[in-house]
Structure 1
Amino acid sequence: MSSHLDQTLSPALAERRAAHLYRTRKLLQSPQTPNVVVDGKDYLAFCSNDYLGLANHPDVIVALQKAAEKFGVGSGASHLVAGHSSEHHALEEELAEFTGRERALLFSTGYMANLGAITALVGQGDAVFEDRLNHASLLDAGLLSGARFQRFLHNDLENLQNRLNKTDVQRKLIVVDGVFSMDGDCAPLPELAALAQKNNAWLMVDDAHGFGCLGKTGAGSAEHFGLTQDQLPILMGTLGKAAGSFGAFIAGSETLIETLIQFARPYIYTTAMPPAVAAATRASLHLIKTEHWRREHLNKLIAHFRAGAQALNLQLMDSFSPIQPIVIGDEAKALLISQQLAERGILIIAIRPPTVPVGSSRLRITFSAEHSIAQVDQLLTALADVMQVIGHEVAHD
């Protein structure tokens, strides 16, 4: 006999299944490379955020192994107790230099970095303004901060200005993604920076999907748009995507970082990441700086795919990033296409509500510098085949 807890929770699960919104985990049984083994089957994958192909790089692996031999596996404590190692400290200094900021502060995850920064900077009596398509962690942090939380229309400066005009609080925080995780487009950061300064507001950018990929040296959206620390005072980046490692950071002024050390609860009350992970990230950061060919090849793959997808009349979004979604619309159809591709050895995940708005379900295709042009052609051939099959099925319904 099921418990009262199970009886109460089960209907919501059944409802989600019926709406084609139920999520299941796939079991990865190989390294994070274009060719993966998932649930015992071989696939060509286009759904990883390992944009530069560094998650399985031998230099990164060796750096982790050597540091584990020296420091052990766990950090053992929070940064403020006894967990802040020399590897953590060196990585923070290198991230600050790379992003052109005075200092950087490590967090264990991007979610914690966003939650820590926003709740430390604004609270009751303040105001936070966020793009409607921001990452869930940013939205959650805005709600939890206690500040007056407002969402403005996607990349709509006029709508944001109208909301700012109605606010007279002292602390105003504008928060956006540098590259939006489900659409792949960029925020208009120079215009946002000017608007923030004009309204005496602070600008924070989550550059999870720009760091490593954008900019001449890969330093991300701030470098791509040429924004200084004064123009973009709060810069967040993650290390589990293009850097191929794990964790996140906030970069900014000395005063900002000291404020976060003192007031960011997710930083204060969390065990530090393992020193070996920080060492691995230092190795990947060196590769980001020196192996520019990775970004150049990645951009060639993106351009090749977009040309091929447009020739197939697929509905792409306005993106020059490694995130290249194909909008399908219907949840069930997006799932069916994903399943049909899987049968052809192509692994792409169907993204459905609540991750994206109702009616905008999509195939979220992502590219890595480890992909080849031939593999992109293999993807395009499979897409053409599947879309033709799906079209016939729809026509017969």
Structure 2
Amino acid sequence: MTTTELPDSAITSVSDGDDALAWLADEAARLRAAGLHREPVVRTPDPTMVNVASNDYLGLSGHPAVVAGAHAALDTWGAGSTASRLVVGTTELHVDLEDELADFLGFPAALAFSSGYLANVGAITALAGRGDLIVSDTGTHASLIDGCRLSRARVVVTGRGDHAAVRAALRERTEQRALVVTDSVYSIDGEPAPVAELYSAAREHGAALLVDEAHALGVRGPGGRGLVAERGLSGAPDLVVTTVLSKSLGAQGGVVLGSALLRSHLIDRARTFIFDTGLNPAAVGAARAALGLLRSDAVMPDRLRANAVRLAAAIGVPDPAAAVISLIIGEPQAAVDAAAICRDRGVLVGCFRPPSVPAGTSRLRLTVRADLDGPLIDHVADVVMGALREVGIREGGIRGGAER
């Protein structure tokens, strides 16, 4: 291989006024003016800070057994998996976790990815492509949306949970193969999708259904097995389930569950599996330990939901269907200001603005944990209500529940 040096004439100085990225300054100013600029929230190890912004629904990320599981994996396998899963990035821990998750969730097989995002993108692009149809709704997570876009299939977007529209799209298609895509519990407001109806619609028209259970694992269903299990669909034919290790299991990573044939197909065709470094061993060890805790304490999800109901009642909004309480404020800056007031008073809350939510529905998103006690939940409610009053939102003006 030879190296070719660029001639001086090909090197343009920024001082010449030809900076191709100069538009970024204008874009940043526009976002700030609209209240849509974002900065990562930097956490510190402050034990007095109450976190109701994370997706650590069962409070297991810091559980001693989960931390010990991560340590044991580090001691045995080191910090990284060192390669893609198809080279040497698959350890015995990966296979054990996949087997245990498949057994717990009632599927023949599972395949772990480095993140839930990659699991969704990999599954969709491996199952649908040019000449196929994907039917997705307006409530699906960004990872599902991006998977649809990258698949190059024709995509029909239906209203959230509108299974009649899904049936119509499938009935009118000209494509031989079709895939229906949905969250089981919508991430923004925690409302459940009509999974059973969507499954029936898909089966009636020869399509497969992919359900993202990221916000249902550990939250809904028998022993926290998810909404698919709650609806009696675990292991059903033509059903693909994705979920994550990074929420209720307090670790990192994503998983696709289905038939053994599906697992084999993903290994051959899912680019986010083939070309990505394998999930790090510490995350695998932590997730296995967390899954063991969930198996041994089947009422943990019940405690979580009871805490969510208590917080919703203290704020004065309807009981949540899962672990998310969504408080619609309206304008982006008001949501940002309210979240900052809460943070200054020792409570971390989520702040969601467009494009994560529709214009005019910026909100605080509260995620309850199973390990919070009653007085602490009441304290969170007091802080949140105080912050809302300071930004001009009165008690009767809070909109909670589903975003229709």
Whether TM exceeds 0.5 here: the answer is yes
Distance 1:69 1:392, change over 3 A: closer
Q: In the alignment, what sits opposite 1:52? A: 58
Please say if residues 186 and 319 of structure 1, whose CA atoms lie closer than 8 Å, have aligned partners that are also in contact: no
Q: In the alignment, what sits opposite 2:402? A: none
Residue identity matched to 1:47: A
Pairing 1:76-115 to 2, within 5 Å after superposition:
76-115=82-121
Q: In the alignment, what sits opposite 1:350? A: 351
Distance 1:19 1:217, change over 3 A: same
- Distance in 1 of aligned mates of 2:189 and 2:98: 30
Report the Cα offset of residue 306 of structure 1. Answer: 1.9
Q: Quick check: 98-107 or 4-13, which moved more? A: 4-13
Q: In the alignment, what sits opposite 1:161? A: 167
Residue of structure 1 aligned with 2:184, choices 178, 182, 187: 178
Residue identity matched to 1:8: W
Q: In the alignment, what sits opposite 1:199? A: 205
- Where does structure 1 lack aligned partners over 5 or more consecutive residues? 31-35
Please say if residues 84 and 274 of structure 2, whose CA atoms lie closer than 8 Å, have aligned partners that are also in contact: yes
Please say if residues 54 and 244 of structure 1, whose CA atoms lie closer than 8 Å, have aligned partners that are also in contact: yes
SS at match of 1:348: strand
- Distance in 2 of aligned mates of 1:56 and 1:392: 35
Report the Cα offset of residue 294 of structure 1. Answer: 2.1
Report the Cα offset of residue 343 of structure 1. Answer: 2.9
Pairing 1:216-365 to 2, within 5 Å after superposition:
216-230=222-236, 233-310=239-316, 319-365=320-366
Provide, for residues 26-52 of structure 1, a one-character-per-residue CA deviation record: whole Å limited to 9, x for no partner. 22222xxxxx46xxxx53221010000
Q: In the alignment, what sits opposite 1:25? A: 40
SS at match of 1:204: strand
SS at match of 2:42: coil
- Where does structure 2 lack aligned partners over 5 or more consecutive residues? 1-14, 395-404
State the TM-score, normalized to the length of structure 2: 0.90
Q: In the alignment, what sits opposite 2:370? A: 369
Residue identity matched to 2:115: T
- Distance in 2 of aligned mates of 1:122 and 1:3: 42
Residue identity matched to 2:39: T
Residue identity matched to 2:169: R
Residue of structure 2 aligned with 1:8, choices 23, 38, 41: 23
Report the Cα offset of residue 374 of structure 1. Answer: 0.8
Please say if residues 193 and 231 of structure 1, whose CA atoms lie closer than 8 Å, have aligned partners that are also in contact: no
SS at match of 1:363: strand
- Distance in 1 of aligned mates of 2:43 and 2:335: 22
Q: In the alignment, what sits opposite 2:135? A: 129
Residue identity matched to 1:256: L
- Distance in 2 of aligned mates of 1:192 and 1:319: 22
Aligned-residue Cα RMSD (Å) equals 1.8
Q: In the alignment, what sits opposite 2:383? A: 382
Identity %: 35
- Distance in 1 of aligned mates of 2:22 and 2:323: 43
SS at match of 2:327: strand
Please say if residues 222 and 232 of structure 1, whose CA atoms lie closer than 8 Å, have aligned partners that are also in contact: no
SS at match of 1:4: coil
- Distance in 2 of aligned mates of 1:110 and 1:63: 20
The count of aligned residue pairs is 379
Report the Cα offset of residue 232 of structure 1. Answer: 5.9
Residue identity matched to 1:381: D
- Distance in 1 of aligned mates of 2:146 and 2:379: 39
Residue identity matched to 1:219: R
Residue identity matched to 1:326: L
- Distance in 2 of aligned mates of 1:278 and 1:372: 29
